[in-house]
Amino acid sequence: MALSEGMREPAHQYNYQHPDWHPYFMGRPVHSLQSVTKSITSTLIGIALERGEIPGLEVPFLTLLGDYDLTRIDPRLHTSTLANLLEMRSGIEWHESDRPLNETNTTIQLELSDDWVQFTLDQPMDSDPGTKYAYNSGGSHLMSAIIRKTTGMTVAEYAERHLFGPIGIVDYHWKLTPKGLPDTEGGLYLEGEDLARFGYLVLNDGVWDGTRVIPEGWVAASTARRVENFDRSGRAYGYQWWRVDRGGQDVWAGLGYGGQFLVILPEREVVGVVNSWNLFGNSQGSVLNAFIDALIAASDRA
C-alpha cells in the first residue's frame, strides 16, 4: 500500500499518520490511548485530592497552576474551579468537536504551539464558568501542570508511584509537550491488557488485591452524569469520563480518537477494551455501540 501524504512527512509525535508514533509507539506493544488519557488523569487528580496535595474541587484552578502569564485572561476565569475544569465547563472558548481537523481546530493549534498551558490560558471565554459544556483538550492538559505544581512530580512520575505501580503496570509511554510536561489531553500509551487492568481497578471502586488505590467515592463521583443534554446523543459527562448508558444500565467509558475505548458495565461486572486506528481512507463508523451491545450479550450468556 502506498504511503499517505501524512506518512511521508518527517516523524513527529503529533503526526497521527506516521507509523513510528501511531498507533503503536516505535514498534513497542504500547498503543495510543488518545483521550482515554483524560480519564486516567482524572483518577490521578482524585488521588492527589485524597492525599491533600490538591486542597479541593471548588478551589479556583488558576491558583493550582504556578507561574503563568495571566495578564490577558478574562477576569471570569479566576472563578473557574477544578470541578468546572474536570467537567469541561471552565468557560474557555474552545473549538474541537465542532471543527474539522485543520488549522481552524483549537486542539490542532494547541498541538502546534510551544507552550500548551499558556496557549490554553490565552484563549477567550465564551461563557461563565460552570454554565456551558465545551469539549476542551487544552483544559485537560492544564491538569498536567496542576499535578506538577501541587505534588512536585510530573504526572507520569505520580502515576508510577500512586497508580501504575500499585496495580502492576510497568510498560507505558507518555508524550511530552515542548515544555516537558506529559501530555494529559491524549498522550498516554498502554498495552490493551494494562488498560483493562486499570478498568478493572475502576470497576472494583479503586481497590486492587485488597488495597485501596483510588480514594473511596472517587469512582462514583467521577463517573456520575454531571453534564447532560449537550447534544442529541443522550450521552453525559463526568470528571473526564463519559456516560454512554444503554437500556437503563450504567455504562462508564473513556473514549479516544481513532477508536480507543475503555468500557465498564458496573452492574454486570464487565470491562472491555478496544484499540484501533480508524484514520485512513474513507471515514468509518464507530464500533462503540456494537461493542457495548456485544459486551451486554456476552454477559447475558455467561
Has residue 208 been placed in a domain?
yes
Position with higher pLDDT, 178 vs 5: 178
What pLDDT is attached to residue 283? 63
Q: Which helix (H) or strand (E) holds 254?
A: strand 252-256
Say yes or no to pLDDT of 203 above 90. yes
Sheet strands side by side (includes 242-243): 236-237, 242-243, 252-256, 260-265, 270-275
In a domain, 244, yes or no: no
pLDDT band at 9 (very low <50, low <70, confident <90, very high): low
Pick the closest to residue 173 from 259, 164, 280 (CA basis): 164
pTM: 0.95
Residue 148 lies in a domain: yes
For residue 118, name the pLDDT band (cuts at 50, 70, 90): very high
Confidence of residue 8 (pLDDT cuts 50, 70, 90): very low
Which pLDDT value is given to residue 231?
A: 86
Decide: residue 280, CB within 10 A, 0-12 exposed, 13-18 middle, 19+ buried: exposed
Average pLDDT of the chain?
Answer: 94
Number of domains the chain is built from: 1
Res 301: pLDDT: 87
In a domain, 237, yes or no: no
Domain of residue 11: give its range: 5-226
Q: Is the pLDDT of residue 282 over 70?
A: no
Residue 256 lies in a domain: no
Residue 288 lies in a domain: no
- pLDDT for res 6: 46
Q: Is residue 298 part of a domain?
A: no
User: What is the spatial distance between Cα 251 and Cα 274, in angstroms, rounded to a whole number?
Assistant: 15
DSSP-assigned beta bridge partners for residue 31: 24, 190
| Average pLDDT value for residue range 203-215 | 98
> Cα separation of 200 and 264, whole Å?
8
Amino acid 4: pLDDT: 44
Task: Read off the CATH number of the domain in which 96 is found.
Answer: 3.40.710.10
If you search the block for the grid coordinates 479566576, which residue do you land on?
78
| Per-residue pLDDT tens over the stretch 220-269 | 999 999 999 998 889 999 999 999 999 999 999 999 999 999 999 999 99
Please say if the pLDDT value at position 184 is more than 60: yes
With cut-offs at 50, 70 and 90, classify the pLDDT of residue 51.
very high
pLDDT at 207 over 90: yes
**Banded pLDDT at 10 (limits 50, 70, 90):** low
Span 34-48, pLDDT tens digits: 999 999 999 999 999
Three-state DSSP state, 273:
strand
Domain membership flag for residue 283: no
For 53-91, what is each residue's pLDDT tens digit?
999 999 999 999 989 999 999 999 999 999 999 999 999
Residues 13, 15, 18: CA angle, nearest 5 degrees: 90
* pLDDT tens-digit readout, 127-149: 999 999 999 999 999 999 999 99
Three-class secondary structure assignment of 29-67 = CCEECCCHHHHHHHHHHHHHHHCCCCCCCCCEHHHHCCC
Residue 23: asked if its preceding bond is cis (omega within 30°), the reply is yes
On the question of pLDDT at 290 being above 80, the answer is yes
189-194, long-range: CB within 8 Å, 24+ apart, which pairs? 189/24, 189/25, 189/28, 189/30, 189/31, 189/32, 189/33, 190/30, 190/31, 190/33, 191/29, 191/30, 191/31, 192/31, 192/273, 192/275, 194/169
